[in-house]
Structure 1
Amino acid sequence: MQRDKTALRVLAQWALLIVLGLNLRPILSSVSPLLMEIRAATGMSFQSSAWLTSLPVVCMGLVALLGTRLHAGLGERHGVALGLAMILGACGWRFYGQHAEVLIATALLGGLGVALIQVLVPALIKRQFQQRVSLALGVYSASLMAGGGLAALVSPLVAGHFAHWQSGLGIWLIPAAVALTLWWRLPFAQTDQPAASAPTRVWRKRRAWWLALYFGLVNCGYMSMVAWLPAYYLEMDWSATRSGSLLAYMTIFQVIAALVMPALAHRSHDRRPLLMISLAAQLAGYAGLVLWPLGAPHLWVALIGFGLGACFALSLILTLDHCRKPHEAGQLGGFVQGVGFLINALSPWMTGWLRELTGGFASAWWVLVMAVCSMMLLTRLFRPANISQTVFAAQPTLQQPT
């Protein structure tokens, strides 16, 4: 009997992790396939509509930088519940989003909810899945990406069925309500365990800044793809459903990579070879979007999806490699995600700006190519030797090389 209860508790923990991840990207990815309808109804320009994707990511960054204080003040149980309630409220409000101001406000509210959940997850994983951290991060990353792809596929279908684009955005209150109910009835064990020691000033550590820069740049392509990939093909006379399906197709390969690459990473302490493979896949995909966009679009999207899915999971694993305790994971994970998501937030805005400036998306894809090349050079810095000592050891600081 006790063994059955333990098995059920473990199963519930994995199920909750998946449900949480599924709710963290529809607020972003449901917009892009409906962008032309949204712009026609609200009068938003390409640059201003980019805020519908950028603003939630800014929230993710700013809230993540306050992660330690939020964890202490709210605890995981109440913090995650509040985040899910914000996502639910934002999606419900979008049913009435006839004006640009409403969409911007819901992007802010939903972004705060997503940010609050994301900042609490690393410490939760580090504690609840102590022997399977890499696998748990892979499952969390895969479910997060699956939620984004599902929204890109389903939102235009719902909007078309009801002839009401707001329905395609608001429908995502349903999974948020389900997640909130499950979370409150079946919370993780020991979810409000306090930190064991005083926080470390990770912002003074050079390695922490390198990790944050790396997380931001290896993942910034995802935000541009979510915001503009369907719009790129809408301009080539694809339908909203067909262009949105590209994001869903990309998600399949994100999920595969997010599950497979962490499993491979578990076999070695050196993350660099897998990161280089992942970055090379991104590089080939972005170049293909520019040079042969209609020649093999599904191949380019598959390569991009695989590279992004792997980089997200592996960069989180790389961050947690520098931590030995759950409260360290919360501090460093919050800082890395905070700075990283602020970098990510620039990507869709920059893409929209370049689209307005040049009349096309090709220049933005070339910028992503250059970013990937620079990150391939930076990858060499993350040698496995003494990696867990570089952030939380007493000596290395911003003024001293690590």
Structure 2
Amino acid sequence: MPLTKTRLRSLASWALIIALGLNLRPILSSISPLLMQIRGDTGMSFQSSAWLTSLPVICMGLVALLGVRIEARLGERRGVALGLLMILGACLWRLLGHQAEVLLITALLGGAGVALIQALVPALIKRQFQGQVALALGVYSASLMGGGGLAALLSPVVAGHFSQWQAGLGVWLLPALAALLMWWLLPFAGLTARTHGASAQPWRNRRAWLLALYFGLVNCGYMSMVAWLPAYYLQMDWSATQSGSLLAFMTVFQVLAALVMPALAQRSRDRRPFLALSLAAQAFGFFGLVMWPLESPHIWVALIGFGLGACFALSLILTLDHCREPRAAGQLAAFVQGVGFLINAVSPWLTGWLRELTGSFVSAWWVLIVGVVAMLLLTRIFSPASYRESFAEPHGSPALSTHP
């Protein structure tokens, strides 16, 4: 009997990780395949509609930076529940509204909900899946990206069925409701309530800032792809369903990479070879998107998806590698995601601005190529031997524990 209870608890933990991840990207990726319809009804320009992707990401960054205070005030159980309620509320409001202002407000509301969950999940995984942290982060990342792909694929289908784009955006309240019920009825073992005690101070550490910059730039391409990949092909006379399915196709390779690369990386403490391979895949994919967009679009999108999926999971794993104690690791991850997502938020806005300025998305893809190559060169400094040196506390503070 005890063994059965242990297995059920383990299965519930994995199911909850997947359910949470599935709800963290539809608020972003459901917009892009319906963008032309939304712009036609609301009169939004390319640059202003970019805020529908940028605003949630800005919220993700700002709320993640407050992760320590949120954890102390709410605890994991109530914090995650509140995040799911905010996502549910944003989707419901989108279902009922049709003005540009509603879309912008719900982008903020939904983004804040996503940020709450993202700020709390890494520490939860670090504690709950001891010995399987890389694999659990891979499953979490894969479900997160899978949710984004499903939204890109199904939102135009739902919108077409009901003959209104609001339905394509609002339907994602259903998985949010399901995850909320699961979270409340099947809580993780060992969930923390409010926490107290010494806090890490990553904003005073150079390596923490470098990890944040790295996380932001290696993942920038995802936000631009979610916001503009369908629009790029809509301008080449693809339909909304075709362009949305291309984004979903990219997600298939994101999910595969998020599962396979962390599993491989778990066999070694050195993440650099896997990160280098992932960044190279991104660079080749974006180059193909510039040079031969119609010849082999699925190949370029597959490479981009593989690189992005692996980079998200591996950069989070790299961050958690620097801290042994779960709470310190969670605080560092919240800081890295906070700054990183604020960097990410610039990407779709910059892409939209370059599109308005040049009349083409090609210049934005070149900017992403330059950023990816720069991060490929930076990857070499993240050797396992540097973890202890980077987070050595000069005054003997135990705030950030390192690997032995």
Normalising by the smaller structure, the TM-score range is over 0.9
Q: How does 1:241-390 map to 2 (within 5 A)?
A: 241-390=241-390
Q: Which residue of 2 aligns with 1:187?
A: 187
Q: Which residue of 1 aligns with 2:72?
A: 72
Conserved 8 A contact 1:221-1:347: yes
Conserved 8 A contact 1:321-1:388: no
User: Counterparts of 2:351 and 2:325 in 1: how far apart (Å)?
Assistant: 39
Residue 197 of structure 1 deviates from its aligned partner by: 3.8
User: Counterparts of 1:388 and 1:99 in 2: how far apart (Å)?
Assistant: 52
The letter for the 2-side match of 1:201 is Q
**In 2 relative to 1, CA 229–8 (structure 1 residues): closer, same or farther, beyond 3 Å?**
same
Conserved 8 A contact 1:205-1:396: no
User: Counterparts of 2:368 and 2:395 in 1: how far apart (Å)?
Assistant: 36
The normalised TM-score by structure 1 is 0.97
User: Counterparts of 1:391 and 1:31 in 2: how far apart (Å)?
Assistant: 40
Deviations 1:204-249 (A, max 9, x none): 1000010000000000000000000000000000000000001110
Q: Which residue of 2 aligns with 1:215?
A: 215
The letter for the 2-side match of 1:279 is L
Q: Which residue of 2 aligns with 1:136?
A: 136
Residue 387 of structure 1 deviates from its aligned partner by: 1.2
User: Would you say 1:30 and 2:39 are equivalent positions?
Assistant: no
User: Counterparts of 1:219 and 1:127 in 2: how far apart (Å)?
Assistant: 25
User: Counterparts of 2:57 and 2:387 in 1: how far apart (Å)?
Assistant: 28
Residue 377 of structure 1 deviates from its aligned partner by: 1.0
User: Counterparts of 1:193 and 1:385 in 2: how far apart (Å)?
Assistant: 35
Conserved 8 A contact 1:255-1:309: yes
Q: Which residue of 2 aligns with 1:39?
A: 39
Conserved 8 A contact 2:74-2:193: no
Q: How does 1:190-209 map to 2 (within 5 A)?
A: 190-192=190-192, 195=195, 197-209=197-209
Conserved 8 A contact 1:323-1:388: no
How many residue pairs match? The answer is 397
Conserved 8 A contact 1:84-1:180: yes
1:295 partner SS: coil
The letter for the 2-side match of 1:324 is R
Conserved 8 A contact 2:74-2:194: no
The letter for the 2-side match of 1:283 is A
**In 2 relative to 1, CA 388–152 (structure 1 residues): closer, same or farther, beyond 3 Å?**
farther
Residue 386 of structure 1 deviates from its aligned partner by: 4.4
The letter for the 1-side match of 2:375 is M
Residue 131 of structure 1 deviates from its aligned partner by: 1.1
User: Counterparts of 2:201 and 2:184 in 1: how far apart (Å)?
Assistant: 33
1:394 partner SS: coil
1:95 partner SS: helix
User: Counterparts of 1:127 and 1:285 in 2: how far apart (Å)?
Assistant: 36
User: Counterparts of 2:18 and 2:132 in 1: how far apart (Å)?
Assistant: 15
The letter for the 1-side match of 2:281 is A
Q: Which residue of 2 aligns with 1:3?
A: 3
2:394 partner SS: coil
1:38 partner SS: helix
Q: Which runs of 5+ in 1 are unaligned?
A: 398-402
**In 2 relative to 1, CA 390–247 (structure 1 residues): closer, same or farther, beyond 3 Å?**
same
Conserved 8 A contact 2:149-2:248: yes
Q: Which residue of 2 aligns with 1:400?
A: none
User: Counterparts of 2:200 and 2:159 in 1: how far apart (Å)?
Assistant: 48
User: Counterparts of 1:117 and 1:193 in 2: how far apart (Å)?
Assistant: 15
2:96 partner SS: coil
The letter for the 2-side match of 1:243 is S
Deviations 1:368-393 (A, max 9, x none): 00000100111011011141452253
Deviations 1:181-216 (A, max 9, x none): 010111112212555741122111000010000000
Q: Which residue of 1 aligns with 2:393?
A: 393
**In 2 relative to 1, CA 396–271 (structure 1 residues): closer, same or farther, beyond 3 Å?**
farther
Q: Which residue of 1 aligns with 2:105?
A: 105
User: Counterparts of 2:35 and 2:339 in 1: how far apart (Å)?
Assistant: 28
Conserved 8 A contact 1:21-1:140: yes
User: Counterparts of 1:54 and 1:220 in 2: how far apart (Å)?
Assistant: 11
The letter for the 2-side match of 1:359 is G
User: Counterparts of 1:191 and 1:386 in 2: how far apart (Å)?
Assistant: 32
The normalised TM-score by structure 2 is 0.97
Q: Provide the aligned C-alpha RMSD in A.
A: 1.3
User: Counterparts of 1:393 and 1:384 in 2: how far apart (Å)?
Assistant: 17
1:222 partner SS: helix
User: Counterparts of 1:312 and 1:394 in 2: how far apart (Å)?
Assistant: 31
User: Counterparts of 2:103 and 2:330 in 1: how far apart (Å)?
Assistant: 31
User: Counterparts of 1:395 and 1:310 in 2: how far apart (Å)?
Assistant: 36
Q: Which runs of 5+ in 2 are unaligned?
A: 398-404
Deviations 1:32-59 (A, max 9, x none): 0000000000000000000000000000
Residue 394 of structure 1 deviates from its aligned partner by: 3.3
Conserved 8 A contact 1:206-1:396: no
Q: Which residue of 2 aligns with 1:55?
A: 55
2:237 partner SS: coil
The letter for the 1-side match of 2:91 is C
Conserved 8 A contact 2:285-2:300: yes
Conserved 8 A contact 2:75-2:195: no
User: Counterparts of 1:395 and 1:63 in 2: how far apart (Å)?
Assistant: 29
Residue 97 of structure 1 deviates from its aligned partner by: 2.6
Conserved 8 A contact 2:123-2:330: yes
User: Counterparts of 1:228 and 1:297 in 2: how far apart (Å)?
Assistant: 14
